[in-house]
A = this chain, B = another copy of it.
Amino acid sequence: MPLVQIKGISGYLSIEQKQEIIRKVTDAVLSVEGEGLRSVTWVLIEDVPSGAWGVGGTPVSSDDLRAMSKA
């Protein structure tokens, strides 16, 4: 009954990467909460449009994220 809701910026992650995150985050949560809760562990990933997410008032794009991730 852990419910995990993840938001990111549209265009940064592929669907394959999202499914890898779903698997790894599920495993991470269950390593603490107990494997018995696997069937009631939900992880969902939503995208916010590039440019509609501000940090300190400045919009961030998926290109900004790509630059940061390589820094």
Q: How many copies does the complex hold?
A: 6
Interface set, chain A 34-50, CB cutoff 8 A to B:
34-49
Using Cβ atoms and an 8 Å threshold, which residues of chain B touch A34? 68-70
Q: Which listed residue (B6, B31, B42) contacts A24, Cβ 8 A?
A: B31
Q: Is the CB of B5 within 8 A of A1?
A: no
Given contacts A15-B51, A43-B54, A54-B42, contact A22 B68 (CB under 8 A): no
Query: Which residue of B6, B12, B68, B69 contacts A3 across the interface (Cβ within 8 Å)?
Result: B6
Contact (A26, B56) CB under 8 Å given A45-B48, A51-B19 = yes
CB-nearest residue of chain B to A33: B69
Least CB distance from A33 to B in Å reads 6
